[in-house]
Amino acid sequence: QVQLVESGGGLVQAGGSLRLSCAASRMTFGIGIYDITWYRQAPGKQRELVATITRGGSITYADSVKGRFTISRENAKNTCYLQMNSLKPEDTAVYHCRAQWMLTAEDYWGQGTQVTVSS
């Protein structure tokens, strides 16, 4: 069974930085064939798409994080990263990663990591 495990969350002051990791395991062909998306969900709010990196390397960001967050991937390590700089209290949420392979409709989610930004 494919697993995605997020890590790197924590408590940080506003203006600080965190780097989240999404480590994949048990993928037959490795993470490189998947589109990877980071989502976040704050208490009482809808889940929000944060950033996507496709298997081809195309990247998109939510307007709310453009210029502050950077998504990247290291296929050899089966890991995707989300570098978060200039963090704001409104970035507080549980962050999840998602791996999708459109060819087969495979769709996997991680359990999430908590990010808390204090003012």
**pLDDT, tens digit, 9 for 90 and up, residues 43-88:** 999 999 999 999 999 999 999 999 999 999 999 999 999 999 999 9
Query: Pairing between strand 69-74 and 59-61?
Result: unpaired
**Mean pLDDT confidence for 78-100:** 98
Query: Minimum mean pLDDT among 21-30, 81-90, 108-117: which range?
Result: 21-30
DSSP 78: T
Q: Could you tell me if 1 and 99 are in contact, meaning their C-beta atoms sit under 8 angstroms apart? A: no
The pLDDT assigned to 29 comes to 86
pLDDT of 28 strictly over 90: no
